[in-house]
Structure 1
Amino acid sequence: MSDRKDLEFGLTALQLKLLSREQLLVAVSEWFNEMNIAGLVPGHAARDLERVLLDLRLLKPSEANSVHESLRSRASGQEPVLDPATREALFQLSPPAEVRVWLRGMSRPAPAPSFKPRPRDERYEFREEIARGGLGRVLDALDRDLGRDVAVKLTLDGLRADDVERFVREARLTAQLDHPNIVPVYDFGVRPRAGGGEEYYLCMKRIRGMDLELLITGLRLGDAALAEKFTRGRLLAVFQDVCLGIAYAHSKGVIHRDLKPPNVMVGEFGETLIVDWGLAKEMGKPEPHFGAAGPRVERTTAPAPDATQLTLAGDVLGTPTFMAPEQFEGRLEDIDARSDVYALGSILYSIVALRPAFLADEVGAIGDVLRSGRLRPPSAVSRAAEPVPPELDAVCLRAMAYRREDRFQSALELHDEIQRFLEGSRELERRRRAARERSAEGLRQLARYRELDGEIQARQNDVERLQKALGNYGPADRKRPIWDAQESVKVLREDRIDAYTKAGAEFGQALVADPACAEALAGMCELQLEKYLEAEAVRDDDEMQLRWNILAHHDRQGTFAARLDAPGRLLLRTWTRPCDCLRPVKEPGWRVEFGEAWTVPWRDGRARPGEALRDEDLPVPKVLVSPRGTYWGHGAKFRASRCRSQSTRRKTVGLSRAPRGCSARRRSRTSSCPRAPGSARSSRPRPSFPPASRSGSTGPAGRRTTSRSIGKAKCLQDSQSFPGANFPTAESNPAAVRE
């Protein structure tokens, strides 16, 4: 490596910030010394600069490789950058002649910069028009000097001097407000007009997006894409940005005086910018003079139909449907920061209701409505799909109060109020989400509970089938399948109880998180309904009443009560014909006696005398009738023998309840019934009757009846105790026929 290349290596390392200048000078000094010694002592070889740097541990091998990579990638003829101070320091180290010549050659002046600013009339390349107002038009443009897209506002032709002054004031005031939510000013000046003369221009940031008015209109018309992107929470965040921008302007002593949705731009990437400061005013300073034709401070009359978006000039500065009462009524001395707060409240009203507080045809009544406190809350006129919370109603009405003292006293206070609402909403949404998740788990447990009910029933049927097949008695190995099946039923019952407990716990925790969670309330009602029906099946009145009370507590819509009540009308009709079976028995010797032991199996709705008792049977006492050949009860045998053939000589003792088709007359009756055919069970627990009672009773017609019989009849209403024997005689029975 030549001496020049060695030094170029060191200067490149310095340029890459791998060395400090002092380190480089130390290494170069030692390198120059070794080169001088090599010239005086034959056979002495000097190290190159790279080796000196490595030996002094001023450079690592990996860093040396980076320097070589930089030297290889450098264009041919391109030299490293050398500042004058470093150059002078190297000269003081007495470099060799070759290096000295090279260092002198690097002292040539730096090339002139390639950038040349364009004249003002050539700097901007104008494109299509974006918007137009009372003072100027806004064009999309390209800044040729900086190569960026901008928005340029140009004054209109034929403006009066006071209008031009307003334009200049807007530029100056906006330039003073350096805030992320206020549109920044890039340039301002005068340029030649294409048709002759001059025009003022104001260069600002180009905002890609839409204004808040177009956004609200799209949401009101049901734009699905906008509704998905701009939720109410997102719109309230946009409103908070506007509050912060206005609060900053107020801190600088500037009030906007024309706040409205069209003057709020919402960018594609979440930026919010307040634009159009043409009516802004510096607080504490007199109203600027606009000449004889300037705006008069008086109340406007008959506004134009589109006055909701019109900035009035010549009467009162501002937009009628969004300006504060003191501004609308021309009380110039009362306009302050709270006037902007009123306008912010009007914007908030439009956001939550998707329509302004006042329409164009209501402008004339704004003052009277506000003075009388008859401003309708957003919830009363809202066109939004979701309801307006009362908290937002209160915020809007306070911000739009007629008296300045009754409003929020600053834009920052209004911002904080919205923040508190959003924080409460987020916490509420979190609790609702947790409640929905717990309710979903509860419903899964409820489904498992019902599924296990079917499995238990199927397994219980298997147990009964095994018991019938294997019998009640036998060796242990023969009874093992029954025991295993019974154990599996026990396990399933425990799992079912566990599923019910978990479902109840999940629904309960969901209601703790959100007491109004519809899913949790319905799930809790389903649980109680299951237990209610189980209690009804076994006629447990206390349990039915308990479950009914719990269900009624959670059934806030009355849905489950309606399912249980199921009110309706039931039409009862019977067709009758004459029959001797209801005539009193005349033979005094006929009687019925019950045995003391309950040894007869009751199965499938009737007694089975002569058959052995089984585990599932309900035992009843043996019935003894006399004389021989007499039958107790009004059963199928009686109907076949007595009603169908008058010549049959079978003797029967009948019950108080006549069979179908065997009453003494035809009756038709319509009555209210707590449960219509095919409907759900009654909502009120019904009294249950014991399956057996050995006491007799006398019916309404003097007939003696009993609640335990082959027909399993129930006690008659208003029955009276029969004195004497504990069994019915032939005289007290409804019918008797000899065989």
Structure 2
Amino acid sequence: MPHTTKVAARTEPKTELMASPRDTEAVGPDHDTPWRGDTAPPTAGDDATPALEAMLPHLTAAADRYAVGRELGRGGMGHVLEAQDVALDRPVALKLLNEPEDSSLCLRFVDEARVTGQLQHPGVPPVYDLGTLGDGRLFFAMKRIEGRTLREVIEDLREDGPEARNFGRVRLLTVFSQICRAIAYAHSRGVMHRDLKPDNIMLGAFGEVTVMDWGLAKPFDGPDRPAAVATRRGAEGRFATQAGEVTGTPHYMPPEQAAGRIDELGPHSDIYSLGAVLYELLTLEPPFDGPTARAIRDAVATQPVVPPSRRAPDRDIPHDAEQLCLECLSKEPAARPRSAAWVADQVDQILEGDRDRARKAEERDQQLTRGQRAADNYFERVEQHRLLHARTAKLRARIDPWADDETRRPLWQAEDAESAARLAAARSLSEALAAYHAALGVDGDHFPTRRALCALYYAAFEAAERDGDAVQMAHYENFVRAYDDDETYAERIKGDGALEVETSPKGLTGTLFTYAPVDRVLTPTSPRRLERLPAVVEPLAMGSYLLKLRGPG
């Protein structure tokens, strides 16, 4: 498998080079013969030797400046060594060519160093030195980047590993915004990266985000200014990539690059790759995959993108983030966002919305918790009141109204305790209702809060029913119906039941009457004949009934 080259120091104690599972690939004009590595394929007649010979005398010789250590990693074009800058006494990483005798690769190597070195941004690894070692080999020295690749983080998230708790959606989008800012800066300097992917993003232990591997970077002229970054090949018009050649990583390359339309590449191509990275951050999968690089390129060029929310329905993907991602992944370059800076601005707005939603959710949950505590107190007070009411009723039935004070004092004490419990229940109910409504004031559609509020109103309805308070029953019934979103209490509020009539002997008939007030006297009304008994009468509305049975004779 080919590898791209990148330096990353793990926090466990040594620095290592991270190998890429989705590697840079270049394909010749026939789209069939792969050229693997960090560079575009060589083209016929590309003789870079004169240019290289003219350039080399101007490079610094560093025979003794660097104490070279172990190899950190190896890719298609170069390898990276651990080193110590003796003059400045600091650790660095030295990148060297695998094939130093290839003059065209030497030019590409020098251009990578110069492009990276001229991009002065926190999101681009600084290049400290470019020159030749004592044995004549080309090298460039750069900062040794410590941390993990974004690829490793994504794989850890996919496997629900230890990093899953540390990289929530807000942090991932923050990382993506920083990537966009680094690319926006490169574009402002007239440089496109052309190989953006999670493998090329390093995350430091203190929030650093670094875009690595500028080996495929290419200067471009803006509409009203030339590229600000100078390269040897750019000055001589020697960039080798031609129409029909494909360089980059298939999973993240734009359709125009996948189809070999190299003349159409521009900043919009990096924006597509940013969209592919965002897609993977949202879904933990690349937008396209396939058994071969060619199958992936064909899908990139011709197939529609499955929306992230459909690809990963369990990831709770914000609509705004999905729309931005799909816009970046537009097949037509003109339909993509106008700049990487604009993409970063949109991500920051999404993050601000996420933070606002998180703040509101925290406020809502605090009120919900407060309401639940008060509701629990209310339920306890209601039960306490029920027991005290029963005790008071027993004492009242036993003690004559004309009894002396000493005899009636236990009744008075029971009545006072019952009143205190009822007042405490009312206060707890009021506190719980206020908290629940405050929570709904923040998030009116929050189902757990609405369900808890409905349960509280139903408990108050039942308490009013036990007290025979029809006015309060009607009051609370309306609120139960308003918040009973899943109709948990619909049948209970309606109060319909069934009457099962069994007779012995069989063959009796009956008449069922409904008691209704007539001139303030409950009177049997609305007779219903029951011709065949036993029978079940349903539905039967809440109320009082009289059943008369008649047998033979």
Q: Same fold (TM over 0.5)?
A: yes
Aligned-residue offset at 1:459: 2.3
Letter of the 2:543 counterpart: S
Change (3 A) 1:468 1:578: closer
Partner of 2:54: none
Asked whether 1:347 is paired with 2:179, we answer no
Partner of 1:148: 90
Q: Deviations over 1:671-701 (max 9, x none)?
A: 6966xxxxxxx9xxx3423xxxxxxxxxxxx
Secondary structure in 2 matching 1:122: coil
Secondary structure in 1 matching 2:450: helix
Secondary structure in 2 matching 1:172: helix
Counterpart pick for 1:255 among 181, 184, 192: 192
Supply the distance in 2 between the matched residues of 1:541 and 1:338 (Cα, whole angstroms): 70
Asked whether 1:576 is paired with 2:504, we answer yes
Asked whether the 8 Å contact 2:65–2:86 carries over to 1, the reply is yes
Counterpart pick for 1:211 among 123, 145, 149: 149
Partner of 1:269: 206
Secondary structure in 2 matching 1:420: helix
Asked whether 1:237 is paired with 2:174, we answer yes
Asked whether 1:138 is paired with 2:80, we answer yes
Supply the distance in 2 between the matched residues of 1:672 and 1:321 (Cα, whole angstroms): 69
Letter of the 2:177 counterpart: Q
Asked whether the 8 Å contact 2:200–2:212 carries over to 1, the reply is yes
Asked whether 1:378 is paired with 2:308, we answer yes
Counterpart pick for 1:482 among 400, 408, 411: 411
Asked whether 1:714 is paired with 2:546, we answer yes
Secondary structure in 2 matching 1:121: coil
Partner of 1:58: none
Partner of 1:323: 253
Q: Deviations over 1:197-251 (max 9, x none)?
A: x31111111112111112111111221x110111121111111111111111111
Secondary structure in 2 matching 1:192: coil
Change (3 A) 1:453 1:153: same
Partner of 1:421: 350
Asked whether the 8 Å contact 2:71–2:82 carries over to 1, the reply is yes
Partner of 1:454: 383
Counterpart pick for 1:398 among 306, 322, 327: 327
Secondary structure in 1 matching 2:246: coil
Secondary structure in 2 matching 1:551: helix
Aligned-residue offset at 1:468: 4.3
Q: Deviations over 1:531-584 (max 9, x none)?
A: 33345557777866664553343233444447779999x9968473489x99xx
Asked whether 1:551 is paired with 2:497, we answer no
Letter of the 2:72 counterpart: I
Aligned-residue offset at 1:281: 1.2
Secondary structure in 1 matching 2:83: strand
Supply the distance in 2 between the matched residues of 1:562 and 1:466 (Cα, whole angstroms): 36
Letter of the 2:504 counterpart: T
Change (3 A) 1:317 1:672: farther
Change (3 A) 1:206 1:664: closer
Secondary structure in 1 matching 2:287: coil
Change (3 A) 1:549 1:478: closer
Change (3 A) 1:355 1:252: same
Partner of 1:226: 163
Letter of the 1:297 counterpart: A
Q: TM-score, normalised by structure 2?
A: 0.75
Supply the distance in 1 between the matched residues of 2:65 and 2:149 (Cα, whole angstroms): 28
Letter of the 1:507 counterpart: Y
Letter of the 2:243 counterpart: V
Q: Which runs of 5+ in 2 are unaligned?
A: 1-59, 228-232, 510-520
Asked whether the 8 Å contact 1:341–1:411 carries over to 2, the reply is yes
Partner of 1:688: 543
Aligned-residue offset at 1:342: 1.0
Letter of the 1:460 counterpart: H
Secondary structure in 1 matching 2:139: strand
Change (3 A) 1:423 1:517: same
Letter of the 1:267 counterpart: G
Secondary structure in 2 matching 1:258: coil
Identity among equivalent positions (%) equals: 31
Change (3 A) 1:578 1:547: closer
Asked whether the 8 Å contact 2:500–2:537 carries over to 1, the reply is no
Change (3 A) 1:220 1:566: farther
Change (3 A) 1:493 1:216: same
Asked whether the 8 Å contact 1:242–1:273 carries over to 2, the reply is yes
Asked whether 1:500 is paired with 2:429, we answer yes
Counterpart pick for 1:335 among 262, 265, 268: 265
Aligned-residue offset at 1:143: 2.2
Supply the distance in 2 between the matched residues of 1:490 and 1:542 (Cα, whole angstroms): 20
Supply the distance in 2 between the matched residues of 1:578 and 1:382 (Cα, whole angstroms): 64
Change (3 A) 1:567 1:382: farther
Aligned-residue offset at 1:482: 2.7
- Tell which has more relative contact order, 1 or 2 (C-alpha 8 A, sep 6+): 2
Asked whether the 8 Å contact 2:288–2:300 carries over to 1, the reply is no
Higher radius of gyration, 1 or 2: 1
Aligned-residue offset at 1:507: 0.7
Partner of 2:42: none
Letter of the 2:452 counterpart: G
Supply the distance in 2 between the matched residues of 1:355 and 1:547 (Cα, whole angstroms): 50
Change (3 A) 1:501 1:575: same
Change (3 A) 1:474 1:279: same
Supply the distance in 1 between the matched residues of 2:306 and 2:143 (Cα, whole angstroms): 38
Supply the distance in 1 between the matched residues of 2:181 and 2:163 (Cα, whole angstroms): 24
RMSD: 3.8
Q: Report matched runs for 1:12-23 at 5 Å.
A: none
Aligned-residue offset at 1:397: 0.4
Counterpart pick for 2:115 among 159, 173, 176: 173
Asked whether the 8 Å contact 1:128–1:140 carries over to 2, the reply is yes
Partner of 1:101: none
Q: TM-score, normalised by structure 1?
A: 0.57
Secondary structure in 2 matching 1:216: helix
Asked whether the 8 Å contact 1:135–1:159 carries over to 2, the reply is no
Asked whether the 8 Å contact 2:242–2:262 carries over to 1, the reply is no
Secondary structure in 1 matching 2:437: helix
